[in-house]
Amino acid sequence: MPLKARIVGTLLACAVLSACQGGGSSNSGNQSVSSGGPAPTGVQQCQALTPHAAALTTVATPPAPPTSGTVQASLVLVPEGQGSLGIYLRNPWTGALVDRGYAPTGAGPSAVAVSQDRYVYVANATDGTISQYSWDPSMAQLVSLGPNATSVAGVSSLAVVGNFLYALNANDNTLSTFRIGSNGALGFVGSINTPALTSLVVGANDMLYGLGTNDIVSFSAGAGTPATVGTTAVNGLISGASNGSGLLYVLTDTTVTAYNVSGGTLSVQDSVPLPSGLTPTALAVDGTQLNVVGTGSSGSEVATFPLVSGGVACPTSAVLGPSGETSGAVLSVGGHYVYVANMTRGDLLAYTATTSGSGPQLTAEVRTRSNPHALTSLVASVTVAPQMLYVINQSENEIAGYTVAANGGLSTESQTSQATCNPCSTAANTGASAFAMAPDGRHLYASDWAEAGQGDVTTFGVAPNGSLGLPSSIPAGMSPMGVAVDPSNRYLYVANSYYINGDGSTTADNGLNTDGADDGGNGQGTIYGYGLSNGDPTPLTQEITDTEPYPMLLTIDPTGRFLYVSQYAESSVGMFSIDSGTGALASIGLRSVASGANPWTVVVGPAGRHVYVSDNGSNVSIYRINATSGVLSPASTPTLTVPGNPLGLVVGPKGRRLYVATQNGTVDVFTRSSPLATHSSWNPTPISLGSTYSNAYGLAISNNGKALYVVDNCTGPNYNNGNVHALAIPAFSAGLSAANYASLGSVVGTGACTVEGLAGGGLG
């Protein structure tokens, strides 16, 4: 009989906020159950439950978050395909999930475990090793503890009990023990034989449970090699979890069951049926609720069960998320969010964790690398640096930094500045064109333009207070423009436009000025690649990649797998894959996709699903990213019209607002109501923030999401009147009027031709 028919043929699940009726033989009468009330026993009878769509909501964030020191941030770690452990932080200011890159693992990462909220271990099923890391709060990154520990191929699950890590080897049915040293490094202790098991669950009082297909084996652990103390038969077992309360919660294909634990003996406390039509894959539990994720009739599903004294109550709600198969779930420490991995889509999603009202709401999403699963969550200490806004004053050959106040306003005078290259490769160097911040916030990289010769890429160290260190330059290619750093902080890329200003000819060279030499060779752009070691760039072995004529700006998707470049003279967007092991670029698909005329800024949205490109043809083009290949295709809203030669472009941290600046001096805001929907369209009518700017070139958003910065380039006759405007970003519900984007203090005059802005500080 099909699973859905079996479920419908048994007991139905609860309606939202409905009371549950005791149905087991051990219950006396029909007793209402609520949080903290009498414990249900036996099998419960529940009313029908109808899943509802999980609308995007804005979750309240601290009104005045700290501007320095440390904060406690929710950190989610996800083993992913292609040998990586994804690192995701929830930004405490905006609520968005931020991809902080990945840590390379062994082959086939399958499970993750954490000790002391600091040491992280990843089981690599294919090569039989365990990767080991420590969390560095100052860099907000995982740091390798050394070579992988050797285990047995087929490791499927990890668990930490006391000072020991236990690894389940599914291929040979063994359970291996490793001692966790004072520095987190692992030392092998020994192995024991077990029945056929699939996963491990840590219980209370140093108990460890091995889950098989139809039984649970109880072990005493925490003092070294575990000892078997009992076996319990369970039909259709899928997953299990414990919250340290003394109960073990088990998910089968039809029910959620709470087991009392007495030594190694398990006895059923109560059992609750799953909602009709839910094919479950995982569960997550804390002190107040239990969440089951799986596939529903119309997409992924999250069902919430309140925990009561000694047991589980009927589910209060079920919400439908995006389509696809869920592969893991975990509750954040503190129980504020439910994080769910969607294996089919390659997504990490965050839901509010609540048992009241309409239940969980989808609050954030970020695309992961392929095949995410077995995620875990912890509270991590993250160093907060003072927020800064850095700008490129091109006519002055300098980069300057302005401090950002708690409300997003700027200091009236720059607090740090440095020349843009040292030493410069050519006297023709005319200042930086673009820059990028390393994900750890400790280094800033700038391209140094040269009209008739080789340019440079310059590295600036960033001090804890945001001050820039002295520049250190190495050669780039001809006339470098765009700069991008991959999210793992391992590779740096620079687009070299190959612009040569000479005879003034523009027709035969696709709009490029050249020196009159062989037209077939002029305008051939390149991308140089560099490896980063402690922030210092070194040219990669395969450092030069050809592009179409006149590449402008670069962007890398949050997964670090794909690079996109605007190709000005070709009116196209170049598409490249990034080799995670070498950093080498390779063309993908048809190498490029058509854009509007003379594209300029190219950015990837925060969820990693779309690319946005501004062009001098008065458009913003929008493309979907193929999660597997990286190839771009037109989005459901393929084009937004923006009169006035759009240049600057930035997407809000939640993906709900798109800001566009034009050379005609306007800034427009496009909105969409549900960016996490499969097909979410932008409203083609923007909010106009007026024509109060003279030559709006660049845009930036503060890292706390409170302010929008408009970089207004210079005008004649003196070309020294650039400035920066700071505007308050209102809540989305109140942001449908230009009047709500209030000015945050006086306009900051830069006294130069200022071409780009970049937010720094915060979480790095």
Among the three residues 496, 529, 549, which one is the final residue of a domain in this structure? 549
pLDDT at 658: 96
The answer to whether 460 and 469 have CB atoms below 8 angstroms apart is yes
**More confident site: 154 or 305:** 305
Hey, what's the torsion of the CAs at 469, 471, 476, 482, to 10 degrees? 50
Q: Looking at the domain assignment, is residue 628 inside a domain?
A: no
pLDDT at 65: 65
How large is the average pLDDT for residues 397-403? 95
pLDDT at 19: 31
Q: Looking at the domain assignment, is residue 148 inside a domain?
A: yes
pLDDT at 571: 94
- Which residues have C-beta within 8 Å of that of residue 133, sequence separation ≥ 6? 85, 103, 119, 120, 121, 122, 142, 143, 144, 145, 184
How large is the average pLDDT for residues 137-163? 87
The answer to whether 653 and 708 have CB atoms below 8 angstroms apart is no
Statement to judge: residues 37 and 144 lie in one domain: yes
Q: Looking at the domain assignment, is residue 750 inside a domain?
A: no
pLDDT band at 192 (very low <50, low <70, confident <90, very high): very high
Render pLDDT for 378-387 as a digit per residue (tens, 0 to 9).
998 888 888 9
pLDDT at 500: 63
Statement to judge: residues 310 and 448 lie in one domain: no
The helix (run of H) or strand (run of E) holding residue 424 is none
Statement to judge: residues 363 and 434 lie in one domain: no
10 Å CB burial of residue 751 (0-12, 13-18, 19+) is: middle
Among the three residues 517, 549, 581, which one is the final residue of a domain in this structure? 549
How large is the average pLDDT for residues 446-471? 90
* Residue 447: pLDDT over 60: yes
CA distance 613 to 640: 10
pLDDT at 63: 62
pLDDT at 429: 65
Q: Is 675 helix (H, G, I), strand (E, B) or coil?
A: coil
Q: Looking at the domain assignment, is residue 157 inside a domain?
A: yes
Quote the strand ranges of 198-278, DSSP E.
199-202, 207-211, 215-220, 227-233, 237-241, 247-252, 255-262, 265-273
pLDDT at 668: 95
CA distance 174 to 169: 5
pLDDT > 90 fraction of the chain, expressed in percent and rounded:
59
pLDDT at 44: 79
pTM, rounded to two decimals? 0.89
Q: What token pair was written down for 343?
A: 């294996």
Q: Looking at the domain assignment, is residue 671 inside a domain?
A: no
Q: Looking at the domain assignment, is residue 325 inside a domain?
A: yes
pLDDT at 29: 31
Which residues constitute the domain of residue 254? 3-381
Render pLDDT for 266-289 as a digit per residue (tens, 0 to 9).
999 889 999 989 999 999 999 899
Statement to judge: residues 353 and 427 lie in one domain: no
Among the three residues 485, 516, 549, which one is the final residue of a domain in this structure? 549
Statement to judge: residues 356 and 445 lie in one domain: no
* Residue 718: pLDDT over 70: yes
* Residue 61: pLDDT over 80: no
Angle at 80 (CA atoms; ends 76, 85), nearest 5 degrees: 55
Statement to judge: residues 331 and 442 lie in one domain: no
pLDDT at 22: 31
Statement to judge: residues 330 and 454 lie in one domain: no
Statement to judge: residues 304 and 425 lie in one domain: no
Q: Looking at the domain assignment, is residue 322 inside a domain?
A: yes
Statement to judge: residues 57 and 203 lie in one domain: yes
Give the number of domains in the chain.
Answer: 2
DSSP 555-596: EE-TTSSEEEEEETTTTEEEEEEE-TTT--EEEEEEEEEE-S
Q: Looking at the domain assignment, is residue 347 inside a domain?
A: yes
Statement to judge: residues 278 and 352 lie in one domain: yes
The helix (run of H) or strand (run of E) holding residue 4 is helix 3-9
Tell me the CATH number at 213: 2.130.10.10
How large is the average pLDDT for residues 241-265? 90
- Which residues have C-beta within 8 Å of that of residue 259, sequence separation ≥ 6? 232, 247, 248, 249, 250, 266, 267, 268, 269
pLDDT at 377: 93
Render pLDDT for 549-579 as a digit per residue (tens, 0 to 9).
889 999 999 999 999 999 999 999 999 999 9
pLDDT at 241: 94
412 has which bridge partners? none
pLDDT at 37: 35
Render pLDDT for 479-531 as a digit per residue (tens, 0 to 9).
899 999 999 999 999 999 887 654 444 333 444 444 433 344 456 799 999 99
Shortest CA distance to 372 belongs to which of 88, 681, 697? Answer: 88
The label of the residue with tokens 């030594």 reads: 263
Statement to judge: residues 234 and 372 lie in one domain: yes
Mean of per-residue pLDDT scores for the chain: 86
* Residue 30: pLDDT over 60: no
* Residue 110: pLDDT over 60: yes
CA distance 523 to 479: 10
Statement to judge: residues 373 and 425 lie in one domain: no
Q: What token pair was written down for 491?
A: 């590779």
**More confident site: 32 or 118:** 118
**More confident site: 242 or 9:** 242
pLDDT > 70 fraction of the chain, expressed in percent and rounded:
89
The helix (run of H) or strand (run of E) holding residue 274 is none
Render pLDDT for 200-220 as a digit per residue (tens, 0 to 9).
999 989 999 999 989 999 999
